[in-house]
Structure 1
Amino acid sequence: MAISFQKSIKSQLFVIIFIVAVPAMGIIFYSGFHSRQMALDDAQNTTRKLVDRIATEQQNLVVGAEQLMTALAQLPEVKNRDAARVEPVLKKLRTLNPMYSNIFIADRSGAVWATAVPTPPPFVVADRRYFKRALASGQLSSGEYVVSRATSKPAFNLAYPLKDDRGETIGIISVGFIIDKYRELLSRLDLPAGTSFVLIDHRGMILSRALEPEKFIGKPYIPDYFKQMQEGPEAGTSIRPGLAGDRRIISYQKLLLPGEEAPYLYITAGIPLNAVTEAAFRSLVYNVTAFMLFLGAACYLAWLIGKHSITDRIAILKNAAERLSHGDLDIRVSSLVVGGELGDLSQAFDMMANQLAMREQSLQENKDLLAEIIELSPISMAIVSIDGTIEQINRRAIETFGYLPDDIPNMERWWIQAYPDESYRAEVIAQWMGLVGKAMTEKSEIERREYRVTCKDGTVKTSLIFGIPVSDKVFVIFDDITDRKRAEEERLSLERQLLQSQKMESLGVLAGGIAHDFNNILTAIVGNTELALMRLNPESPVLDNLKRIENGAIRATDLAKQMLAYSGKGKFVVEAIDLNRLVEEMGHMLDVSISKKAILRFNLTKPLPSLEADATQIRQVIMNLVINASEAIGDKSGVITVTTGCVSCDRNYLNTAWLNSEIPEGLYVFLEVADTGCGMDRETQAKMFDPFFTTKFTGRGLGMAAVQGIVRGHKGAMNVYSEAGNGSRFKLLFPAGAKTAEQIEIEPHKNGFSGEGTILLVDDEETVRAIGTEILNELGFAVVTANDGREAIDLFKANPDVFCVVLDLTMPHMDGEQTFRELRLIDPNVKVIMSSGYSEYEVTQKFAGKGLSGFVQKPYKISSFQEVLEKV
């Protein structure tokens, strides 16, 4: 009841009327349903009576047929099979009994020898059910639905056994029934429209139906309902679908012959449910319609009274309240609504309007002042209502982000424009709405958060956004920190690059110095061992010892090369190479070097510009990266992908790479090795270029430090992308050469060399001078030696027959570069071969365009000296 008082006055009046009307409506519906139930009961009795009537008619028909067949069985003409005398009798009997379709007599084999209806021979009924059952039981037996051979029409037969004087069965007498006679019975009865009956044989085949017989006779009855009749009692009644699909009140009854366990016939009678309930439904509709007219009149009267005395006056007050809520403070209603409680309410309304008008004036003055403060504020600011309407954007916000008020009429438009990336937009919206909700609940400032905002011109700015909730609005403040962030990132980037550069430079100087001195020592070992092996008798017992010394020295040389590579001053034999060809040549070697569970794939971009690089060093880099990738995959299955390509790099891209401080923008050929292995976390990535650092149980050398040195020595850069559990990707960038890969030609090597003349050998190490002298003598040259640059100048002046100078780069007092300049002053055409433990690329760059004749790498080998001197 309390709920109804919250409704409108009209509604409450209507509720009262309906409360009164509900009992009357209940009585009407109860009466209608009661009438319907009585009609259903009458219909059930009618169907049962119809079934009983048909069953009685059928039983009488069977009794009559049995008496007829019993009498015929006693005739001597029948027992003697006198067809000529029997057939006229049968025809006469059929004429007297029009309900019979045929009367015939068959012998024990089933052959018909006498029939009331002439039938072309052969007429054999041995396959009929009534024939078989009559012979087997020796008594009256029923048949089933068949198409009569005599009449070619549907028929139902009974058979009686024909016996001789000794009591033996010698045949049968059969009577066929015309089943349609029951439809005449139905037409004589006063039954509801649509009433019908169905005769069904023992198999469930329809023998007769009162309605639409041609559509159903000879077809099976509904299987589920026939099974229910078979398994049910002798008779029954139910409401269910009929043969035509309409719902009916259907009664049924089973008919049995004496001596038979199963019924030979099922009789059903049905009346359409709609026909039975139609009268009750019409009465209910009439009563309901009359009552509804009365109820409508009562409601109209209640509405008319409520409208003029209550609702019209309340509507005036409601309209005034709505206008007041929309800002019309001049509205007054006391002159329109007079008298009674509603008149008192109208006077109170006018007093409230007066008070609101005074407050509105004060609020407007404060609002104008606040709007002016926001507009002139040096900080970007906007006022947003809770429903998402952007009410004000100050001048500073427009200058910062470029959006005018018309560009962002609501928050939805602001989200789309300021955060075009859908995923980032969803993240920002969820976070911001959570902060607003928390601030509104706790009545506190909205927490400051940093966001990336896309301006109208497409630029992205970083802004510190926070807000202050006030009533149903939020003052949103935008602090543009883009410049501060950029300056901070640049500072951190420079610090990182400086730290990395200092670290690499310090370690590089140390590694380079050690390798240089180490190479001087190895020069004596390798050179003397090589000379000894050349001069030694192949059958000498010390031959194996010298080979072991040579192998050990070569291993030491490789270590020195790695140290020089790390320092960026390794031995580089610079030439134009085709990176794709180099990778393809290494394909087989890489396949056999990696895990059997790893799949190696090549993704080579062709054609590529050439590289000015040391092929041996690039091979070392590729092998190192591929083996590292294989070890990262481990015992699991994985894929290693080697990719080549060409990319134009600007400064922004190069700033994200390692070793980028000195390389220029431009075209770069890249080599990328990616794997699906275990990947690296941030801590591992920070240490991966440290000398001898490894994630394995034992270290194997300089590893990635050597790769870094080789890349740095080639003026390249490197990018590393890795995440723990998601594999790694190493991308190496090398400056592209002027030639294409197709323009690179391989020069054939010349064999058979014998030198002559005098060479000046300059080196500050005695052992180096000694082994160098022996090697040059072995090649056919006379040698003059000097232990530093000053002595070399003097000896060069004193020996005008010197045609070539082998000059060490690093010496005390006067280094190789100073000595070279002095020699060129003495003889501008002097041929100088520079010697060093550093890389050829590093050295030749210092002497580019100065006429250097060649370079020989320490430690000395006969083959390297021969190759250089051939060109001189």
Structure 2
Amino acid sequence: IVGVGRDITERKQMEDALRDNETKFRRMIEALPMAIGVAGAEGNIEYLNPRFIELFGYRPEELPHVNDWFQRAYPDPVYRQDMLDLWLAGVESAKQKGSDFVLNEAHITCRDGAVRIANLISALIGDKSLAIFNDITDRKRAEAELLAYRDRLEDLVEQRTAELVAAKEQAESANRAKSVFLANMSHELRTPLNAILGFTELMRRGSGLLRRDREHLDIVNRSGAHLLGLINDILDMAKIEAGRIQWEKVPLDLDVIVGEIMEMMSQRAREKGLALALERSSRVPRHIRGDETRLRQVLVNLLGNAIKFTERGTVTLRLGAGGGPDQPRLLLEVEDTGPGIAAPDRVRVFEPFVQGEQMSSQRGTGLGLAICRQFVELMGGRIGVSSELGQGSRFWIDLPVDILNGGELAGSEESPGEVLGLLPDQPEWRILIVEDQPEDALLLGRLLESVGFQVRTAANGVEAIEQYQAWHPHFVWMDRRIPVLDGVEATRRIRVLEGGGAVKIAALTASVFAEQRGEMLEAGMDDVLHKPFRSEEIFGCLERLLGVRFQRRETGPGAPAAPTAPALDRAALAALPEALRRDLADALLMLDTARIDALIRQVEALDAILGQVLRSQADDFDYAGMDEALRGMRKVAVRGLEQAERADGLRPPRLD
């Protein structure tokens, strides 16, 4: 017996190690969270790990071959063929390169019909194929949701953007509408106001006015100027809303401002039977630097309210001074004897559209005090009120001021004096007025003709061009808003005509918008004046642009005094019948105006000059002067009678 023994210990150890490694490898594969499948060289599926079965739902006996997997996992024939082509191409590439290959985002149909998305990583291990499926379904769903949310967010943003664009366009349209409205209101308000102020100024230039009529015209003119200031504030409302309103600091005469305001408000106080008083401290500076327009508006508003809500007693304006030399302050108070303001209302009285119970019976918007507070705070000051029911109210203002020094006062401009006419040795100045409002054209034309200018008018831009070509004026007053062809375009066309570059053209417009001023200057206008205009503005512009020389009334200490009303001629009065003088004296004593008027007509029939003087005094309500003259006539007559009686020895001397 021959026995051969071979030591297979190492082989057995290797086999045991292999089995042990295989067991470990299988356990590792089964524990992996990714689905894994192994197919043999013939395509038979040899292994599916538990994660594969859990993920896709197919049991191993349902997938004996790779073809069975393709049939079930990709039921759509077109998609199945695409995946099969990619698989075969990947296997061929792996054989040639010896590397694995990847199929991204394979849409796999599970046993229950659900579709999962997985990235497939394949590798060749000998003659076997290893496939690892990395499930990315949840990630792709989250990505899809994020994309959907992003798309929805983009849609929402686009929608909101469209809404904002629409809102912006609506706001811009509203602003444009407001601008158009303000422009129209500017034109419609300032145009008639131009006629009011202009014709009152023309009437004041007349020499035959009585003193009382001149005073009335002065009040109308100042009130119109104040109304113009209010209109300007209203037309600047866009700046106020935008927070861009600025206040001016210009030299002003406080005494003049207060005097004009008191004179303007005194008539309203007299109509209600109220006393209007002014108390001014000697420490109050006369010449300061400040915003005249807004200071006027605040004082007029406070005084107007006090007069409106006070039924009896006194309204007092007080001016005082405070602070030190480095920071002087102006203290203003308006006190009345009205009904007073309750404590709850005092807290809210400066709020817009708020009126106290005592004020609710009066008409008003409730905006006045709110505007006053805004203006006072804008000027760096404070405003407040103290009041008790039944005891009246006291509104106070504390404003910082800049006191003007002597140099600034000396440098202030003085009025050059009223224009009386053109100086001799000048051209016969021709001026064309382009204005569609007949009242404004008439006003400006009469003003210019009264001092010696030759004037023609045109009602629209086309007529302006025709008049320029036919008449060749030296100067053109051009309204901006005229029919057919507006003033801006008419100016452009005149500038390109023969001689059009030399003619002076100035705008005379009711517009107060800065952008329109720039447009008019850019069109070739030499200057821009606004309605309502003052005669001095018109003449000053002609002096500046055209070189016109005027004869002016002298001003200052050496100027002649204004003409006074003629006095009654005692001799003419004495020549009247005694019965007529007696009846006139009785009518004056009884203040019988109808009888006074009838008796003056009788005097006019006897002595026209004396009747005119009496008529002038009656129109001026100077009844005291007429009565004094008549009493003087009676006194002369009595003395004459006494002298005669003493001469006859009938009466002793009388001690007057």
Of structures 1 and 2, the one scoring higher in RCO (CA 8 A, sep 6+) is 2
TM-score normalised per structure 2: 0.36
The structure with the largest alpha-carbon Rg is: 1
TM-score normalised per structure 1: 0.29
